[in-house]
Amino acid sequence: MSEREPEQIGPGCGEDAAPYVLGALGEDERAAFLVHLDSCAICRDEVTALEGVVAVLPAAVAQLSAPPELKGRVMATVRSEAALRGTGQRAAGRTRAPIRRTGRRGILFPAGALTAAVLAVVLIVSGGSGGGTRVIRAQVAVPRAEVSLTLSGGHAELNLARMPPAPPNHVYEVWVKRGGAPQPTDALFTVTSAGSATVGVPGSLSGVKQILVTAEPAGGSRAPTATPVIVADLS
């Protein structure tokens, strides 16, 4: 907020900042809040701060599905906490709610509103797509290695940790099994020196019961030549 611009705390000031940033206001409420922003430096600062949180959160948290009713309860908490804060501000005149300073110069925002907003953003990022995300721990025939399979929106991704490299002149190959013999994919990969890798599983998952990984000669194989070292059951 500019040092030249006086703080303006009017009735309801700050109540709608988080719902506005999260897209939870109705059309009339949003229009009224935009008018309010023109004359309220405090709300503009709070909106700016919360927009920064919303922008970085999707990359900072794992995306998991959340039931719609839980999202509704958290949004109710956002509004309720903001309303309580507004009541306290009006009763105290120019006394501000407790604030927390971000790393960005000059931006201040109430700690309670940020907490509720972050919770709401987690739900919106997690459950907004409707598809949800499922994580399966795969069976690994290698001591200490860990592999998980992430399913989201009809796509699958293998995440490997502490996996040893394939034998010399070999690569890891991903297979899908619907029924009968495993079918090859064009996913051939190696792991880093730390044994990690992230590999997308090509193609549709329709009817797939298992995703397998074997060590195959360089260039891959049309049929497995070795026992799978990774098995992920989708059923």
Which of the listed residues 79, 103, 127 is the one where a domain comes to its end? 127
Assess if residue 4 is contained within a domain. Answer: no
Which of the listed residues 98, 127, 156 is the one where a domain comes to its end? 127
Q: Which tokens is 195 given?
A: 């044994």
Same structural domain, 189 and 153: yes
CATH of the domain at 143: 2.60.40
Q: Where are the beta strands (DSSP E) in the chain?
A: 99-101, 108-110, 133-137, 139-140, 146-152, 155-161, 170-177, 183-189, 197-201, 210-217, 230-233
Give residue 102's pLDDT: 38
Distance CA 53, CA 50 (A): 5
User: Is the per-residue pLDDT at 49 higher than 60?
Assistant: yes
| Least confident residue range of 26-30, 99-103, 147-151, 165-169 | 99-103
Give residue 17's pLDDT: 79
Q: What is the 3-state secondary structure (H, E, C) of 145-210?
A: CEEEEEEECCEEEEEEECCCCCCCCEEEEEEEECCCCCEEEEEEECCCCCCCEEEEECCCCCCCCE
- Tens digit of each residue's pLDDT (9 = 90 or more) over 14-46: 677 787 777 777 777 878 878 887 888 888 888
Letter string b/e over residues 70-96, b meaning 16 or more CB atoms within 10 A of that residue's CB: ebeebbebbbebbeebbeebeeeeeee
- Tens digit of each residue's pLDDT (9 = 90 or more) over 162-189: 999 999 999 999 999 998 999 999 999 9
- Is the pTM above the cut of 0.85? no
User: Is the per-residue pLDDT at 2 higher than 60?
Assistant: no
Contact 67, 14 (CB under 8 A): no
Which of the listed residues 83, 109, 127 is the one where a domain comes to its end? 127
Neighbouring C-alpha atoms within 13 Å toward the C-beta of 13: 24
| Least confident residue range of 59-63, 105-109, 114-118, 217-221 | 105-109
Same structural domain, 147 and 84: no
Assess if residue 187 is contained within a domain. Answer: yes
- Tens digit of each residue's pLDDT (9 = 90 or more) over 62-93: 555 555 555 566 666 656 655 555 555 455 44
Give residue 77's pLDDT: 63
Question: Given CA atoms 106, 29, 8, 38 in this order, what sign does their dihedral have?
Answer: positive
Give residue 127's pLDDT: 45
What range does the domain containing 200 cover?
A: 133-233
Amino acid at 7: E
Distance CA 26, CA 37 (A): 16
User: Is the per-residue pLDDT at 12 higher than 60?
Assistant: no
Domain count, the chain: 2
